[in-house]
Amino acid sequence: MTQETLTEVRGDLVLAALCVGQFRAPCQIDAERLLVRADEALGQALHALGLELSVVVESFTPAPLFAPDEVLLDQAARSLARRQVQTHVFRPHDEEPPEEEAVLEDLPGQQG
């Protein structure tokens, strides 16, 4: 295998993996570290999370992606086309009876 310049990530590997996944970067998962082909943006994001980064030169065997990029991009495009914005306004007074009913219930001698 050929040697590559990679970024070694140590620290909270779950946090690191989530960050790498957001960037959709190839990643080799080892017990004590992750190896990634980090561009500057990914490196800055990993560093901002407090992870230890170092440059290494070694062979790279990234974990397989679960779907080809074409499939993921097609799904994302269809999802964006269908996306709708929904809003909900919470109004606690909707649960209270209208004022007229509240007044009638409070009158003495009033029978239902």
**Contact (Cβ atoms closer than 8 angstroms) between residue 31 and residue 42:** no
Q: Is the dihedral of CA 40, 45, 46, 51 positive or negative?
A: positive
Give 52-73 pLDDT, tens digit per residue: 999 999 999 888 766 566 766 6
CA distance 81 to 83: 6
> How is the chain split into domains, by residue range?
3-59
Give 15-56 pLDDT, tens digit per residue: 999 999 999 899 999 999 999 998 899 999 999 999 999 999
What are phi and psi for residue 91, nearest 5 degrees?
-130, 100
Q: Record the tokens describing residue 86, joined without a space.
A: 């929904």
pTM for this entry = 0.57
User: According to the model, what pLDDT value does residue 38 have?
Assistant: 80
Give the three-state DSSP class for 98: coil
- DSSP one-letter string for 26-67: -EEE-SS-EEE---HHHHHHHHHTT-EEEEEEE---PPPPSS
The CATH class that applies to domain 3-59 reads alpha beta
